[in-house]
Structure 1
Amino acid sequence: MKKMLLMSGSKYQNTDYLVHCLPWLKDFLAAYKGKRIAFVPYAGVRQTYDQYEEKVQKALAELDMEIVAVHRDAKHSNIIESADVIGIGGGNTYCLLKQMYENNLMDAIREKVLAGIPYFGWSAGANVAGASIMTTNDMPITYPPSFDALNLFPHQINPHFISGKMQGHNGESREERLEEFLRVNPTSQVYALPEGTALKVEGNKVSLLGESDVLLFNSVAQPSIIAKGSSFTL
């Protein structure tokens, strides 16, 4: 049974790094104390993999788990194979997915999660759990061999969702960008996650975590509201 925690971002309002996520992660990984998390740091463009690993180790120290970044082995997939849990951090989604392909992590991660290994990710790490990365907010600063992602969550995810336009901003709103995506990909569904929200997946059941509603965009003109604290079946 798939077990996933897909979080919009690493911060919420004025909280420090991953602080608002920690209670969710403690609950999600309660049975895994002392176990090993394979951490995928590829999205962290403005820091080294060592720095990203250390940052996450400090932020999640209360989990009482060993956190090892995949670059610690020359064959990165070896860390995935030896892990009890898989975690993927945020940053640039294009860089993340490119490195996942180039280091042969796609099948390795997919097989582990389908076998029941817990998966958690925030921002880009949530994006790559979905069907594709075409609804990321990031600039395509590099080119993965495909936009196809892990497809463990069989729909699109849009993290960091903000409704409407800021004053003085004359570009498209997030709603307009997602409408563009759906005009080109009319059979897709997009789950838009505001800051401070997450999807907890257990098999085919999805529960909403956080203090905001989630929006579901599809070919219908107006998005559906999925109420905070509710659950649905994939």
Structure 2
Amino acid sequence: MNLLLLSNSTQYGRGYLEHALDTVTGFLPQGARLAFVPYALADHDTYTARVRGALEPAGISVHGVHENNDPLAELAAADAVFIGGGNSFRLLSALYRTGLREAVRDAVRGGLPYMGASAGTNMAAPTLRTSNDMPIVQPPSFDTLGLVPFQINPHYLDPDPGSTHKGETRAERLTEFLEENDVPVLGLREGSWLRVDGAVATLAGERPGVLFTRGAPARELPVDSDVSALLGTEPTFDSPAA
């Protein structure tokens, strides 16, 4: 498979996708027709226009799947697909409702390049269980696209030793996940991304990642780390898939 999984689409002080634009335009086929999936936000038209503004100057033709009465036909006509960020629960619910969950999964497994950012990156994992988002809607299942066999936590935040906030840190929440599920979790700090090209997976971007596994301390992963071994993961969740 051919995947580009961004932790975030907007970096502080920069425009939409600006921090990763060279990587994005290098990943997408030259002159590509891009199917954009805007369902993680409520205003699909404005969201799609934002993506157009960022990518069309580079020669990428952006088509929102919602702009076609048949989103599956829009996907079928595309040279690549991009699923944007927002609320992961709303996004997954819409993917089930439109039939795009199965269609995107099958197309990407068949060779269609897939780009995700934030919630779209969550969709590439087996389940929604390591999302940071509030469940504002209830999808039929937590099962996502399963393009990679491990979980991902975009926007990973390190604990702040000076904070007086008594809620759980991100690390504590991921540790709780691992108490119930035996599957690695790759934390992507903002400004980082994962590139998967066939059997090779590489952590890239501006900041290191962090890997959580059951029964072991969290491990820092420098930029340009080869994490291909994660592609051989056999995840074990606390209940059968729905």
TM-score of the superposition, structure 1-length normalised?
0.94
Residue 227 of structure 2: which of 224, 229, 232 is its match?
A: 232
**Counterpart in the other structure of 1:75:** 70
**Counterpart in the other structure of 1:16:** 15
**Counterpart in the other structure of 1:106:** 101
**Counterpart in the other structure of 2:163:** 167
Structure 2 distance, partners of 1:232, 1:35, is 28
Residue 41 of structure 1: which of 38, 50, 68 is its match?
A: 38
SS in 2 for 1:153: coil
Give the % identical residues.
41
**Counterpart in the other structure of 1:27:** 26
- What letter matches 2:194 in structure 1? L
Q: Which stretches of structure 1, 4 residues or more, deviate above 6 A after TM superposition?
A: none
- What letter matches 1:3 in structure 2? N
Structure 1 distance, partners of 2:215, 2:208, is 18
**Counterpart in the other structure of 2:200:** 205
- What letter matches 2:163 in structure 1? Q
**Counterpart in the other structure of 1:57:** 52
**Counterpart in the other structure of 2:149:** 154
- What letter matches 2:188 in structure 1? L
Contact 2:105 2:147 (C-alpha < 8 Å) held by counterparts = yes
Contact 2:30 2:60 (C-alpha < 8 Å) held by counterparts = yes
1:123 aligns with 2:123: no
Structure 2 distance, partners of 1:204, 1:231, is 11
**Counterpart in the other structure of 1:97:** 92
Note the alpha carbon deviations across 1:118-142, whole angstroms, 9 max, x for none: 1001000000011111101000000
SS in 2 for 1:183: helix
Structure 1 distance, partners of 2:80, 2:111, is 9
- The runs of 5 or more residues in structure 2 that have no matched partner are 232-242
**Counterpart in the other structure of 1:223:** 218
| Cα drift, residue 158 of structure 1 | 0.2
| Cα drift, residue 12 of structure 1 | 2.2
| Cα drift, residue 167 of structure 1 | 2.0
Q: Number of matched residues?
A: 228
**Counterpart in the other structure of 1:176:** 172
Counterparts in 2 of 1:147 and 1:38: CA distance versus 1, 3 Å? same
| Cα drift, residue 17 of structure 1 | 1.6
| Cα drift, residue 28 of structure 1 | 1.0
Structure 2 distance, partners of 1:219, 1:170, is 24
TM-score of the superposition, structure 2-length normalised?
0.91
- What letter matches 2:67 in structure 1? R
